[in-house]
Amino acid sequence: MGKEKVHVNVVIIGHVDSGKSTTTGHLVYKCGGIDQRRLERFAFSAAQMGKSSFKFAWVLDKLKAERERGITIDISLLQFNTQKYTMTIIDAPGHRDFIKNMITGTSQADVALLVVSSAKGEYEAGVSRSGQTREHALLAYTLGVKQIIVCINKMDLTEPPYSQKRFEEVVRGVSSFLKKIGYDPATVPFVPISGWTGENMIAMPWFQGWKARRREGNASGRTLLEVLDSIQPPVRTINKPLRLPLQDVYKIGGIGTVPVGKIETGILKPGMTLMFSPAKLTAEVKSIEMHHQGLETALPGHNVGFNIKNVAVKNLRRGDVAGNAQQDPPSDVSSFEAQVIILNHPGKLKVGYSPVLDCHTTHVTCRFAELKEKLDRRTGKKLEDQPQTLISGDAATVKLVPIKPMCVESFFTYPPLGKLAVFWNLTPTMLTSATFYSWFCCFRTLCCERPEADGCCGSYQVSGEGPRVKS
């Protein structure tokens, strides 16, 4: 039996209608993730609904509502193999109505693949203030996805088709805002493709090639498949206790309750007794599967479903975290301290603000209970004690109190469970205005206060670099 390939989770992001699902479905098909008969069934069903061009998108859009509306609503997972990696593709919604699902998908990713339409008018719409191209890239960076690939899609629809001038124009524009977010454009491959025709996915006769800087040396190639094989393998943490944020929980006939999610740290085995937080439930693992294959041991990076005993589906939900009940199990927090950077806020932020906070797969309203320190956002040095307000551009240490039970960990102990973000819109009507996100915060959890403990779980004195966002 050959050595198991490294698992890499790739989230597909970008503006609605940029061609994310079509690109993903076509790539998975070309790489053997689905067979010809299944694709023919999708093509027949799509033609019956008068949507022949959606056949590749339907590889991922499983929900009836998604197929009828022609947009991705929930996140979808598919797997295929490259020469070096086993890839799990996470197709995230681009539509603003389903931003929570997009955040959930991005929080599980090692690499982001940003799909940008090159078609006339579509690129401009995506990078406009009402578009999602910039916001999705910013969210990916904030949630810790430090490797990004840019697919310049719909090259067959440029004027003229496959226009070098249009490709270079889009590359310049995307490079500019990626640099402002924090990515180094020199490390980002830009690949021209057509998600519909399949050009430059696994073969390309006309593109001269992409280049990207890597730690171990420069990488280069032509196709999207070569780009995926050039990414740096993610660092996995096996020697820490298990942390598995739940993406969803299903009831499957003849099997029972099946939670699903990505293992962030530790290992999962059949027979293990799990503790779920903040649900405060324990259950034994009966079996584990990944992409319909049984596993005896599941490792960090694996997206798994696992059957558990004696727990009803209604008692677990997205955002709960599973851990080994015998080894530092997760628990909920009554409050926590975090470093925060405020971006794009139109006014002053004060104690009492209560936005919805996104952490791993959970979305919980948290109250700003105390503004402890204002910091230099580039060095992390303290500038002011107990500031009265924070404005756009400020960095600070704050105390937050969740209004309902929430599982969050120190960034320095469990980084994937200590990265948080806030997207806050002032009124529902602003969903259709020019500025969708009226303000944005990114957090790094320093310490957590648990209901059963005295004080914090650890010091919030931070060594090393403080919060930093490139301007």
- Per residue in 441-467, pLDDT (tens digit) is 556 677 667 665 444 443 233 323 333
Residue 307, pLDDT > 60, answer yes
- Given pLDDT bands bounded at 50, 70 and 90, which one contains residue 67? very low
What tens digit of pLDDT does each residue of 209-224 get? 777 887 777 777 789 9
What tens digit of pLDDT does each residue of 231-243 get? 998 888 889 999 9
The whole-number pLDDT of residue 368 equals: 93
What tens digit of pLDDT does each residue of 314-327 get? 999 999 999 999 99
Q: How far apart are CA 147 and CA 13, in angstroms?
A: 13
Mean pLDDT score of the chain? 80
What tens digit of pLDDT does each residue of 31-46 get? 877 767 777 777 777 6
Domains 244-324 and 335-449 share a fold: yes
Q: How far apart are CA 445 and CA 409, in angstroms?
A: 7
- Given pLDDT bands bounded at 50, 70 and 90, which one contains residue 57? low
335-449 to CATH, choices 3.30.420.270, 2.40.30.10, 2.40.50.140, 3.40.190.10: 2.40.30.10
The CATH T-level fold of domain 6-230 is Rossmann fold (3.40.50)
Name the percent of the chain lying above pLDDT 90.
37
Shortest CA distance to 181 belongs to which of 463, 440, 435?
Answer: 440
Q: How far is CA 422 from the centre of its chain?
A: 14
DSSP for 221-255 reads ESSHHHHHHHSPPPP-B-SSPPBEEEEEEEEETTT
Considering only residues 101 and 386, tell me which one the structure prediction assigns the higher pLDDT.
386
Both structure tokens of 272: 């293990």
Most confident listed range (56-65, 207-216, 367-376, 421-430): 367-376
CB 232: neighbour CB atoms within 10 A? 15
Q: How far apart are CA 41 and CA 152, in angstroms?
A: 28
Q: What number is the average pLDDT over the span 393-414?
A: 89
Considering only residues 358 and 73, tell me which one the structure prediction assigns the higher pLDDT.
358
As a CATH number, domain 244-324 is 2.40.30.10
Residue 138: partners with Cβ closer than 8 Å, 6 or more residues away: 181, 440
What is the pTM for the complete model shown? 0.72
What tens digit of pLDDT does each residue of 106-120 get? 777 889 999 999 999
Q: What number is the average pLDDT over the span 8-12?
A: 89
Residue 251, pLDDT > 50, answer yes
What tens digit of pLDDT does each residue of 345-382 get? 778 889 998 988 888 888 899 999 999 999 887 777 89
Give me the residue spans of the domains in the chain.
6-230, 244-324, 335-449
Helix (H, G, I), strand (E, B) or coil at 280: coil
Considering only residues 71 and 229, tell me which one the structure prediction assigns the higher pLDDT.
229
The whole-number pLDDT of residue 193 equals: 94
Distance of CA 326 to CAs 96, 276, 284, 358, Å?
Answer: 41, 12, 12, 28
